[in-house]
Amino acid sequence: MSALERLAKMDRRVMYWAMLLLIALPYAVPLGLPMQISTYSTEFKTTIDALAPGDVVLVSMDIGLGSVSELGGGIIALAKQLSAQGVKVVAVSTVAEGSLVFDQYFRPVLTSAGYGYGVDYVNLGYAAGDETMIASIAENMREVYSRDYAGNDAASLPLLQAADDYSAYRLVVTFDAGTATGFYARQWQAKYGTPVLSVPTAVNFSYFYPLYQAGSVEAILNGPRGCAEYEQLIGAPGLANQGIDALSMGQLVVIAFIVLGNVAFVGERLRRRKQ
């Protein structure tokens, strides 16, 4: 068997182990390469910068726990920037695990910044209905959420008394592994003009890029890379920056296997042509 044939018949597990080990390497020996900041991330940060203390922001956690590997850094960074500016937060979710993500990653930053529950932030949790829910909370939040995530009466929460519909919110930020960015753009931005900021997974960045380019989405972060840039912009490198070298290695491995696959393919073609 020639080298090319052996290459073409490589066991998939060899590739998987190579992937895992090369991705793990930068966690043991960090590369620490510099990273240019994109205009998307700068715009995202400056849009948040423009908020004043006391402004209310709707944070929509439209991701499951699995997507935290990708957007966790961005979640913590946003919580840090909003709490540093004294911005109030109302959290909702169109995904069942979204409220868990808020509780595990966003809330600890707010509480350590001295935020008071019900006054400075509220977690309303999950509500079914996707786009229907997003359209409804714009009109009457307490009708959809008569109780918050912890089971408190929503009417008893001072923040929700003041922020019961779209008019009270300066902007919406959605952490999105699905289609929520499009839903918010359709139901909040198009109808009421509320700016929508999106932190999508990298794959969804492509879907939502035309919305951002057309102005339906005010600012956008490019998945984990965008989150790493945003962390740097607010001066708090964290989860996303820790993972960016490993991400580089992983993508290098994919490119290397694309090249190897094509070498094997071309070699096989040449061999057949000779025969």
Partner 1 sequence: MIPALESWVAIGLTVAVLSYVLYRENPAYRMAEALFVGISLGNVVVMAVRSLQSSGMNPLLGGNLTLAIPVALGLLLFTVYSKRLGKLSQWPVAVMSGVGVGLAIRGAAHTYIYDQIKASMQPVIIWGDPMATLNAVLVLAGVVSTLTYFLFTVEGGAGGARVKTTGRYFMMLFFGAMFGQVAMTRITYITGRAQLLVQFLTSLLT
Partner 2 sequence: MSLINRREIPIAIGVAACTLVIASYFTDNASLASASGSLQLWGIIIAGFATLLGLFSYVAYNGRQIVKKRSVYSGVAVASALGTIAIGLALSPSSSQYSWLTSNILTPLSMSVGSFIGFFIVSAAFRTFRARSLEAGIVLAAAAMIMLKNMPVGEYLLPGVLPLGNWLNDIVSLGGNRGFTIAFAVGAIIAGVRQILGFERGRVAK
Interface residues with partner 1 (CB under 8 A) are 13, 16-17, 19-20, 23-24, 27-28, 66, 68-70, 96-97, 99-100, 125-128, 130-132, 135, 143-147, 149, 151, 154, 182-183, 185-187, 189-191, 201-203, 205-206, 210-211, 213-216, 223-225, 242-243, 246-247, 250-251, 254
The 3-state secondary structure of 235-256 reads CCCCHHHHHHHHHHHHHHHHHH
What's the rounded Cα separation, in Å, for the pair 8 and 10?
Answer: 6
Assigned token pair, 74: 């961005």
From the list partner 2, partner 1, none, partner contacted by residue 156 (C-beta under 5 to 8 A by kind): none
Of the candidates 219, 218, 223, the one whose C-alpha atom is nearest the C-alpha of residue 205 is: 223
Nearer to partner 2, 176 or 245 (CB): 245
Q: Indicate which of partner 2, partner 1, none lies near residue 262 (CB less than 5 to 8 Å, by partner kind).
A: partner 2
Which of 21, 50, 155, 254 is the binder for partner 2 (CB under 8 A)?
254
Q: In angstroms, what CA-CA distances link 85 with 20, 51, 142, 146?
A: 40, 8, 26, 29
Count, in order, helices (H) and strands (E) of the chain.
14, 6
Cβ contacts of 266 within 8 Å, gap of 6 or more: none
Binding site for partner 2 (CB under 8 A): 10, 12, 15-16, 18-20, 31, 33-36, 38, 64-69, 97, 99-100, 103-104, 123, 125, 127-130, 132-133, 135-136, 139-140, 143-144, 149-151, 191, 202, 206, 209-211, 213, 222, 225, 244-245, 247-255, 257-258, 260-262, 265
